[in-house]
Amino acid sequence: MPVFEYDPPERFVAGTVGEPGSRTFFLQARTGARLTSVALEKAQVSALAERVGELLDEVVRRSAGQAPVPALPPAGSEDTAPLESPIEEEFRVGTMSLAWDGERDVVVIECFEVSDSDAEPEVPDPSSASNLLRVSLDGAAARAFAARALALVAAGRPPCPFCAGPLDAQGHVCPRANGYRR
């Protein structure tokens, strides 16, 4: 299984290619000239960012504030630059795992390639994946990653005020309108 390991990366971000409504989401890690881009779904980016934030909050809580994890992303840590080129998809992410390595005080994010077993309703087997992206981030970098990823997800199409589904530029057929045009 090829492993793309970044411990730590110089840059680790979530980003998109395309217009809202037809965007492709990527995670991108870079160290020096080595660049890895993996594709994933918007919901996966959102879930990862939320879980990273929750994990860091729990680490701070359990350590009574002694862990080297900031409560907010440090000032100046915002990364608003676009994804780096060339954006060449190494693989599509299926399963992800998230852990706190207490010995090194880092968050470890693992993204496994989607496999045939992921299509089944059973619990996916990460050991059957053929590619893996593993990234280790300190608390400050993990907070900055989560903040950017959440902002990226929120920057999509605005939600319908009635059904919360995404609105296209032309509007949409709202299931809550029950056939009535507002």
CA 154/CA 46 separation, integer angstroms = 9
pLDDT value at residue 54 = 97
Q: pLDDT for 67-93, tens place per residue? A: 889 888 888 888 989 999 999 999 999
pLDDT value at residue 168 = 72
Phi and psi for 174 in degrees, rounded to 5? Answer: -85, 120
Task: Provide the 3-class DSSP secondary structure of residue 15.
Answer: strand
0.85 exceeded by the pTM?
no
pLDDT value at residue 121 = 43
pLDDT < 50 regions, the chain: 121-122, 124
